[in-house]
Amino acid sequence: MVMVSATEMIQKAHEGHYAIGAFNTNNLEWTKCILTAAEQAKAPVMIQASEGASKYMGGYKMVVDLVKDLHDSLGITVPVALHLDHGTYEGAKACIEAGFTSVMFDGSHFDFEENMAKSKEIIELAHSKGVSVECEVGGIGGTEDGVTSNGELADPKECAAVAALGVDFLAAGIGNIHGKYPANWAGLNFERLDEINKAVDGKPLVLHGGSGIPFDQTSKAISMGVSKINVNTELQLVFADATRKYIEAGKDLEGKGYDPRKLLKPGADAIIAKTVELIKAFGSDNKA
Ligand code: 13P
């Protein structure tokens, strides 16, 4: 099966009150693990790559070929969408051209008029090629690809205006942040989520910074219109932890423990286990 746009899987998730996990990839291992986990859990899945990660992997075409080829050679049967995470105007256009099946245009750092104009243009271009689009209103706190945004609560009126442009799903800050949550984090702002959900009139919402949010909060957010949850940091943390334990136990010094296929295995297994756990927590298991 070829990769699909995310429109249908997100729409079904919205109607069925669960969320699609959108997991960031960094390389071959990550991509393989996310696909394997989705297949194990029988879940539709979004694999997403930031512009920085795409550059690291060798460019947008490389990312498209990697996901497509692994998808086919692993015999993946669940629906898979390849999504650009936090795309610039230029990056979103380049990914539509390169074969991504979904793109995010993040114009949240522009003034609102410019965000609207550019979002409209990307939505029209993407839809003309059958590609789904996510846009963002207000910043998501934290740091992503070296860019820090401080805005944390999106304006419901602005959300309504971008939703009306025909975007497929909308990212809006509700107190969530990228990266590790600080110990004194106040939690998601459900009052604002409720206002936004009412303002966007049934448009599926996206929760960024999905790493480390307690599951009772993600479940409540899903019941209030969130249909896509982004996770990056959490997979990086479990990979690093498992790899550190392997090396600290001196396993790389035993036999051929230095072989990358052995050295990276505990980390890869940890990514698969965490991805399956998150898919189940988001309720998208057995929905493929
Ligand atoms: P985390 O790294 O906090 O999981 O956030 C991922 C994200 O929102 C990608 O857009």
Mean pLDDT of 145-155: 65
Distance CA 57, CA 55 (A): 5
Is the model's pLDDT at 140 over the cut of 50? yes
| 116-129 pLDDT, tens digit each | 999 999 999 999 99
Closest CA to 122 of 78, 91, 92, 83: 92
Ligand 1 near 25 CB (within 6 A) = no
Mean pLDDT of 15-19: 98
Burial grade of 101 (CB within 10 A; 0-12, 13-18, 19 or more): buried
Distance CA 70, CA 63 (A): 11
92, part of any domain: yes
Is the model's pLDDT at 144 over the cut of 70? no
1, part of any domain: no
Q: CATH no. for residue 11?
A: 3.20.20.70
Distance CA 192, CA 184 (A): 19
**What is the model's pLDDT at position 141?**
73
Ligand 1 near 149 CB (within 6 A) = no
For ligand 1, mutation pick of 208, 218, 271 (most atoms within 8 Å of CB): 208
**What is the model's pLDDT at position 184?**
83
Ligand 1 near 176 CB (within 6 A) = no
Nearest CA to ligand 1 atom 9: 230
**What is the model's pLDDT at position 127?**
98
85, part of any domain: yes
Which domain does 52 fall in, by range?
A: 7-282
Distance CA 238, CA 27 (A): 16
Distance 253 CA to ligand 1 centre (A): 34
Ligand 1 near 211 CB (within 6 A) = yes
Distance 231 CA to ligand 1 centre (A): 5
Distance 202 CA to ligand 1 centre (A): 24
* Structure token pair of residue 93: 């256009």
The number of the ligand 1 atom at minimal distance from the alpha carbon of 180 is: 3
Ligand 1 near 51 CB (within 6 A) = no
Catalytic residue set: 85
**What is the model's pLDDT at position 285?**
98
Instruction: Give the residues across from 49 on adjacent strands.
Output: 84
Query: To the nearest whole number, what is the mean pLDDT of the chain?
Result: 95
266, part of any domain: yes
| 53-69 pLDDT, tens digit each | 999 999 999 999 999 99
What's the number of domains the chain is made of? 1
**What is the model's pLDDT at position 155?**
95
CB 196 within 8 A of CB 216: no
Distance CA 63, CA 47 (A): 10
Mean pLDDT of 219-228: 98
Ligand 1 near 274 CB (within 6 A) = no
Is the model's pTM score more than 0.85?
Answer: yes
* Residue-by-residue DSSP string for the chain: -----SHHHHHHHHHHT--EEEEE--SHHHHHHHHHHHHHHT--EEEEEEHHHHHHHT-HHHHHHHHHHHHHHTT--S-EEEEEEEE-HHHHHHHHHHT-SEEEE--TTS-HHHHHHHHHHHHHHHHHTT-EEEEEESPPBEEETTEEE---B--HHHHHHHHTTT-SEEEE-BS-BSSSPPTT-----HHHHHHHHHHTTT--EEE---TT--HHHHHHHHHTTEEEEEE-HHHHHHHHHHHHHHHHTTGGGSTTTTSHHHHTHHHHHHHHHHHHHHHHHHT-TT--
Ligand 1 near 178 CB (within 6 A) = yes
**What is the model's pLDDT at position 146?**
56
For ligand 1, mutation pick of 134, 152, 230 (most atoms within 8 Å of CB): 230
Distance CA 74, CA 67 (A): 10
Distance 251 CA to ligand 1 centre (A): 31
* Structure token pair of residue 194: 């409720």
Where does the pLDDT of residue 145 fall: very low under 50, low under 70, confident under 90, or very high at 90 and above?
Answer: low
Q: Taking every pair of C-alpha atoms in the chain, what is the biggest distance, in angstroms?
A: 62
Ligand 1 near 49 CB (within 6 A) = no
Is the model's pLDDT at 151 over the cut of 50? no
| 239-276 pLDDT, tens digit each | 999 999 999 999 999 999 999 999 999 999 999 999 99
Of the chain, the percentage scoring pLDDT greater than 90 comes to: 91
Is the model's pLDDT at 38 over the cut of 90? yes
Is the model's pLDDT at 114 over the cut of 80? yes
273, part of any domain: yes
| 193-219 pLDDT, tens digit each | 999 999 999 999 999 999 999 999 999
Of residues 140 and 137, the one with the higher pLDDT is 137
**Which residues are CB-contacts of 239 (< 8 A; sequence separation ≥ 6)?**
267, 268, 270, 271
